[in-house]
Each structure stands twice: as structure tokens, then as C-alpha cells.
Amino acid sequence: MIKQVARGILLIVITANLNIAQDEFFEPGYSIGGYGELHYNSSKTGDKDPSKKMDFHRFIIYYGYNWTEKWSFKSEVELEHNYVKDGNGELELEQAFVNYHTDKFGFQVGVILPSAGLINEFHEPPLFLSVERPEYSKYIIPTTWFGNGVAVYGQSNGFAWKAVIHEGLNGDGIAAKWNQGIRGGRQKGYKANAEELLYNGRIAYTGVPGLRVGGSFSKTKALRSEEGTQPIGVTLIETHAKYDANGIMAIAEWGNINYTDHSAKSSTGYYMDLGYDIGRLLNLEGKLYPWFRITDINAGKGHESENEKHYKKTMFGLTYKPINQIAFKLDYATKTYTDKSKDKVNLINLGVGYNF
């Protein structure tokens, strides 16, 4: 009995010394990263001459600081479209939060991202195949969706979860842009009205290398400014899956937003990607993905002009990644509307994206 007690005391002492040693070896410090993307876009509607544009769409800098192994600060500042002047371009603080993190549990407080879909939290250009982000991540999940709030997250046995309490949405912005889902309702942390908050929860399975399967639920009341006007009820349910391993890139996302007291009843959409790295067959340095995507977006379902905005899109592309942090992209797409009187749109996009 005495020997067992002695062994227990010795184990406690050794464990304590190891923890002290880890703290002694840790040095506080900062980290810098970022991403960006340059785009060339050609859009041709019916018989009209094509519209051609070039744009350095995004330039982002990450800055972080680690006080200890568990306590850190993380931030993301974004400049869109090269500069900000006379209503053009945007300069945004997309993330800025204090983070507490262990192997199984953590929390964030500050400017944070709700956990909805694949791209809202992880949106660096090399992570998706197309030149532009999928339209699903604009009209169903309004990527990038950020604001003031608090989040608790964790992982165990191959499952990852996150719960978020976040600033709510602006109902006037949703009502004015009925065909863009909830995108126009983002308050972006600027003196955000906090009378009604957003409640968001997500769970995902990541126990197989390269696989992520999950879904999320978000709910709020989007307040209106006009006296006597009812807030717009918003309930977003989405599910997603991604497999990126063994040369295969397969992605599927589906989402639906139900509304109350809005001119549209819901916003719904999905897209699916499938690509394969033929670089491994050609003995090519890096990865070369031929791929295709199908998309269906109806962001104003139930609105009297629903058919004018409901569209389907077929896209083919080629993405070359000499290293995982750089992607050169080319894609071609055709876009057709439910309203057959509207002309078909042909799109050609070229781009390069990076992250570090």
C-alpha cells in the first residue's frame, strides 16, 4: 500500500514538473499570414458584347499573438478591389478575437465568424477550385459573414463542434435585397444592433483523413427600422461534405433559409464539385485538377419575381497547384434562368490565388 501511494505521489510530481518545463520552454510571440486573389472575368449575355474586367479582388493580412500555449489573439484585415474611395472597394476587420485553446476545448470573444458551411471559416483561395467563390457562398451562406460575438468550440472522437452567439441581422437590408438571401443583412460589427442576437451551432465529423461531413443551424429575428414593422424571422439550416485525399476533390453543400414577414418565403440552393488530380498520372510536379460543378440557386423562393432570379449553372474548370498554397485557375460556365425569356449567360474566368 505504501509503495502504491509513493508511486502515485511520484507520478504527480513528474507530471507537474513536465507542465512547468513546458511553460518554461514556451516563448510568447506573433504570427503573420494572409491570402489574396487576382481575377479576370468575361461575361456574355445573349448576343451582347462580352463584359471584361480585371480585379485584385482580395488582399488579406492575418496577425496573431500568443501570450501562452493556451491564450492568443487572432485577427484578419481585408482590402477588397485595390482601394477604398467614393463608395468603391472595402476595408474590413473580418476577425479580431481573444482565443483560449486546448486539445479538446476552446472559446473566442471579439469579431468572429459564425460556423455555417465550408467556406465561411476556411475561405483561402487554394481551398476551392473555381476562380470566384461558389455563388452558394454568397446567396445562401453570405461568405464572409462576420461580426461581434462569442463562440465555444471543441473536438472529441473525430467530431468537432462549435456554438456561437453573435450580433443579429438587419431586416431592412434583407428586405431591400430579397434575391440575395441574408447577405444584405450583415451588420459587420459596426455599432451593431444587439437587441436580437443570432444563435448558431455546428457539428462535423472529421475522423477520416481528408473527409469533413457536417451541418449547422442558425436562427435570429432581423429587426426593421420602420416603426410597427415586424422583424424578419430567419432560420438557416445547411449540410455540407468535402473529401480531399487520394487525388479526389469532391464537395457538396445544400442550404435553406426560411423567413417570416418577408416578401420571399425562403432561400434555397446547392452546388456539387468533382475533380481529380491528373498530375499524379502525368508525373507532374504539383496538382492538376480538371473538375466540374453544378449549381442551383433560388434566393427569393415564393417572391412574385422568383423565376427572374432563380438560376442553374454548369461549370467546367482546370486548377493547377504547384504547391498547396498557390492555385492557378481557369473555368467556363453557362447560366440559365427559370424564366425562359431571360438570355443565357456565358462566363470565362481566369485567376491566381495564394495563402501563407
CA distances from 312 to 22, 25, 254, 296, 336 (A): 55, 56, 14, 4, 5
| Stated pTM of the model | 0.89
CA distances from 338 to 141, 182, 331, 352 (A): 22, 21, 23, 32
What's the confidence (pLDDT) of residue 87?
85
Kindly list the averaged pLDDT for each block of 10 residues, start to end, along the chain of length 356.
Answer: 46 42 74 98 96 98 97 98 92 98 96 98 97 98 97 96 98 97 97 96 97 98 94 98 98 98 98 97 96 98 96 98 98 97 97 98
List the one residue out of 133, 114, 96, 94 whose CA is nearest residue 182.
Answer: 114
pLDDT at 127: 97
- Residue-level pLDDT at 24: 65
Q: Which pLDDT does position 152 carry in this prediction?
A: 98
Instruction: For the chain, give every domain's residue range.
Output: 2-355
Residues 6+ apart with CB under 8 A from 266: 256, 257, 258, 259, 301, 302
Say whether the peptide bond before residue 102 is cis (omega within 30 degrees of 0): no
Listed residue (274, 346, 336, 269) closest to 308, CA to CA: 336
CA distance 208 to 258: 33
Instruction: Count how many Cα atoms sit within 13 Å of the Cα of residue 321 in the half-sphere of its side chain.
Output: 23
CA distance 341 to 32: 50
For residue 1, the model assigns a pLDDT of 47
Question: Can you identify the CATH homologous superfamily of domain 2-355?
Answer: Porin (2.40.160.10)
What are the backbone angles phi and psi of residue 17, rounded to the nearest 5°? -65, -35
| Predicted pLDDT of residue 13 | 40
Q: Tell me, what's the pLDDT at 26?
A: 81
Kindly state the cell numbers that stand for 185.
443583412
Q: Across-strand partners of 251?
A: 242, 273
